[in-house]
Structure 1
Amino acid sequence: MRNRFSVILGLSIMILFVLGITLSAVSQEKTYELKVSMVITEDDTIYKGYEKFKEGVEKRTNGKIKVELYPAGILGGDEEILEQIALGAGICVNTDAGRLGVWVPEIGILLCPYLTDTVEEMQKLLKSDLAKEWFEKLRKEKGYVVLAFNWYAGGRHFITKKPISKPEDLEGLKIRTPGAPVWQETIRALGATPVALPWTEVYTALQQGVIDGAEAQHPATYGSKLYEVAKYITLTGHIQLWNAPVVGEKWFNQLPPEYQQILFEEAEKAGDYATQLLLDSLDELEAKMTAEGAIISEVDTKPFKERAEAVYQKLGYEELRRQIQDFLKKQ
């Protein structure tokens, strides 16, 4: 009886083993499509990073994951795309901490003004276990998978129709910014009135006088030619914008584990690549915009930083900010 049981057990284990191999082989034969949605243009260094991401993913999966890039908001706005992702769509959206921070407040601090002093400090924070805890919370609670958060898009500066040299110059101006609380409160603290508009509508809104200015990083400003309708660019660097490729857990969980790991690894590699491209291109972008009529000015950022303190108080980020400062001191 005992021998018979052993034989049955052995056969069962063998069947499960063979079945596992078969299922794994089937999953490896299946192909997947991933559409990457972004509002930036093809000239942007972030877009070039996604070209590198596409190349790496398709090569390492032997084409089993096909990546298609959709710039300039072709697929729709981030909020709309995030809704589709939550339902299981095979879309990756290039987004930021402002939007994700609506669901996980800790992530929102990444867009708070003057959070770190250098790009290197922010890179350490974004790749730390502290930040990864926030991203894991987003996955568990909302079903969004952050593939990497090391895609540097640049410092945010003001683009206005009149020159700005101090926060008081912003008073009474309607400045376009995304609708998430951290964006809105930052612009309000610095003295202007925030106006939420889709990025694709900013040029026309400036042209028609609906808004008096906007705030953006150099690649986006250059790509959308905003300086044609608002020629003053003031280098406040009030927000350091970092982007992240985000997919839905429902779609992500369909992938074999090795493909999931490839997405994580290639997203981080491409993020580092895009970051370096951006840093190497800043002087050239400023030269191009100046040649086309933009007036770019440096300012004393101290009064802007002093006003920005109100954002941390307003959004309840004072304690979390202290944790981040302690973390960076130890690095």
Structure 2
Amino acid sequence: MKMKSLSAIAVAGMVAVSWGTVALAADYTLSVNTALATSDPLYKGLEAFQANIAERSNGALEVKLFPGSQLGPDEDVLEQARAGAPVAVIVDGGRLAVFQEEFGVLGAPFLASGYDGIRKVVTSDMFEEWVQKLHDASGHQVLSFNWWQGERHLLTNKPINGPEDLAGVRMRTPGAPVWIETIKAMGATPTPMPWGEVYSAIQQHVIDAAEAQLPAVTGAKLDEVVSHITKTGHINLITGMVTSAIWFDSLPEDLQVILREEALKAGDIASYGTQDSLAQIEADLVAAGITVTTPDVTPYRDATAGVYDMLGYGELRDTLRAMAAE
């Protein structure tokens, strides 16, 4: 028996009459949550996903988009998905590591740079094995993991010339071990909190700094509360669209195929769009008065080298770096 989403059940059988025609509600609905703003270049990929799913499914599957974490923090949406709700979230591997540890390595420091190399990792046969493990272990289904958001940099209100300048700096980080240990190794004091709270936390001096990719800086208007961006590129942020395995498995097989194929295509649209936008975003930040510097990252790379072994990712590091460099 097919399992329908609560939202689909609520509207099942309802019709809308417009210009003399009758439009049936979608059989299935997927609500996609993202912390990002609609202005983020990645959001165009989500809009493409929404449109292409509607077209390929002939209206049987409807995608609804919820920017700005309207459905809640990523961790909460993951729990909703785990319970079988028809929701998905754009989320990093660090948050998935609590369910399947291999995913955490994707957020480890200086794993790869840019999109093309890390794309090879997240479309590999090895990665697909991780996807199946996650499905079986936690009840989550990865639709695709090629949603690249850019390299993450330091956002501060003072110049940062090296790791020593981060001593005592309270820096926001996602609440996942690989992120926390990376920021700690770089010299700052990691302070986990939801992304939506960062602006006010910096403004009110609850924290001193943050770290993020350039599109997220402008999307959250952090250029209003920080004065310096140090382009360390310490984490190459690759994220995935993750939904409920229970819900996904209940779908007809053709819709399962459509979801995964279109998620991969849309991820490329999002990622290459992000890549193409970075130079202009940086120019706009400089024009707005932000001091942007590009340091020698060697001290940061050296300082964070031990994170892999600390979290048990030593062997994976070498395998994935080689894969990304092919």
Q: Equivalences for 1:66-77 in 2 at 5 Å? A: 66-77=62-73
After superposition, the CA RMSD in angstroms is: 1.5
Look up the match of 1:274.
270
Look up the match of 1:157.
153
Answer yes or no: is 1:303 the counterpart of 2:299: yes
Counterpart among 162, 178, 182 of residue 178 in structure 2: 182
Which one has the largest radius of gyration?
1
Q: Equivalences for 1:232-311 in 2 at 5 Å? A: 232-311=228-307
**Is this contact kept in 1: 2:96–2:103, CA < 8 A?**
yes
Residue 198 of structure 1: how far off its partner (Å):
0.7
Answer yes or no: is 1:146 the counterpart of 2:121: no
Counterpart among 196, 205, 228 of residue 224 in structure 2: 228
Aligned counterparts of 1:251 and 1:123: Cα–Cα separation in 2: 26
Q: Deviations over 1:158-202 (max 9, x none)?
A: 100111121111111000000100000000000000000110100
Aligned counterparts of 1:185 and 1:258: Cα–Cα separation in 2: 42
Aligned counterparts of 1:126 and 1:284: Cα–Cα separation in 2: 27
- Matched to 2:238, the amino acid is W
SS for the counterpart of 1:150 is strand
Q: Equivalences for 1:8-23 in 2 at 5 Å? A: none
Q: Deviations over 1:33-68 (max 9, x none)?
A: 111111110011221110000011000001111111
**How many residues align structurally?**
303
Answer yes or no: is 1:216 the counterpart of 2:212: yes
**Is this contact kept in 1: 2:114–2:151, CA < 8 A?**
no
Identity percentage of aligned residues: 46
Residue 249 of structure 1: how far off its partner (Å):
1.0
Look up the match of 1:196.
192
Residue 324 of structure 1: how far off its partner (Å):
2.3
Answer yes or no: is 1:65 the counterpart of 2:61: yes
Counterpart among 96, 107, 125 of residue 100 in structure 1: 96
**Is this contact kept in 1: 2:36–2:216, CA < 8 A?**
yes
Counterpart among 25, 33, 44 of residue 48 in structure 1: 44
- Matched to 1:218, the amino acid is L
SS for the counterpart of 2:111 is coil
Look up the match of 1:320.
316
Look up the match of 2:11.
none
**Is this contact kept in 1: 2:93–2:106, CA < 8 A?**
yes
Aligned counterparts of 2:100 and 2:319: Cα–Cα separation in 1: 17
Aligned counterparts of 1:43 and 1:249: Cα–Cα separation in 2: 30
Aligned counterparts of 2:224 and 2:119: Cα–Cα separation in 1: 33
Q: Deviations over 1:130-153 (max 9, x none)?
A: 111111100011110000011100
- Structure 1 stretch displaced more, 185-194 or 293-302: 293-302
Residue 313 of structure 1: how far off its partner (Å):
2.0
Look up the match of 2:122.
126
- Structure 1 stretch displaced more, 184-193 or 307-316: 307-316
Look up the match of 1:171.
167
Q: TM-score, normalised by structure 2?
A: 0.90
Aligned counterparts of 1:143 and 1:215: Cα–Cα separation in 2: 30
Aligned counterparts of 1:168 and 1:179: Cα–Cα separation in 2: 23
Aligned counterparts of 2:193 and 2:100: Cα–Cα separation in 1: 23
**Is this contact kept in 1: 2:26–2:62, CA < 8 A?**
no
**Is this contact kept in 2: 1:228–1:294, CA < 8 A?**
no
Q: Deviations over 1:280-308 (max 9, x none)?
A: 00011011111222111110011110011
Aligned counterparts of 1:126 and 1:33: Cα–Cα separation in 2: 26
Between structures 1 and 2, the one with greater helix share: 1
Aligned counterparts of 2:270 and 2:42: Cα–Cα separation in 1: 6
Between structures 1 and 2, the one with greater strand share: 2
Answer yes or no: is 1:39 the counterpart of 2:38: no
Q: TM-score, normalised by structure 1?
A: 0.89
Answer yes or no: is 1:87 the counterpart of 2:87: no
